[in-house]
Amino acid sequence: MRTTMLCLAAVVLAAMFLGGCAKFTRQNYEMIQRGDDRARVKEVLGRPSQHSSEMWFYINNTPYYRAKIHFENDQVVNKEWFDEENRWVQPAE
């Protein structure tokens, strides 16, 4: 019984971890708009991989892609997407 509970707990924790990682996708990135605040970005994309006071970085390793979200006065002013070859991709308008 104890082993079953431990296995179940491990599965639940793994699902929570993997679910959190899945927030950073191109589809969710496209939902971010100029003027969105940091809370909205975090809600849509999750916690950034790295951050500074004016920029948040999101990185996915397999497949590789990344994004930069630029802030001024705690609002999005620009965003950038880089593909698996580290090329900048023009934002969809």
* pLDDT over 80 at 6, yes or no: no
Per-residue pLDDT, 5: 54
Q: Which residues contact 26 (CB under 8 A, 6 or more apart)?
A: 65, 81
Q: Which amino acid is at 4?
A: T
DSSP string, 15-30: HHHHHHHTT--HHHHH
pLDDT at residue 70 tops 50: yes
Residue 50 has pLDDT above 60, yes or no: yes
Could you tell me which residues come within 8 angstroms of residue 63 by beta carbon, excluding any fewer than 6 positions away? 84
Stated as kind and residue range, the H or E segment containing 40 is: helix 38-45
**What domains appear along the chain, each with residue ranges and CATH number?**
24-88 (3.30.1450.10)
pLDDT class of 2 with cuts at 50, 70, 90? low
pTM above 0.75, yes or no: no
Which pLDDT value is given to residue 12? Answer: 42
pLDDT score at 88: 74
Q: How far apart are CA 66 and CA 88, in angstroms?
A: 9
The Cα 34–Cα 32 span in angstroms is: 7
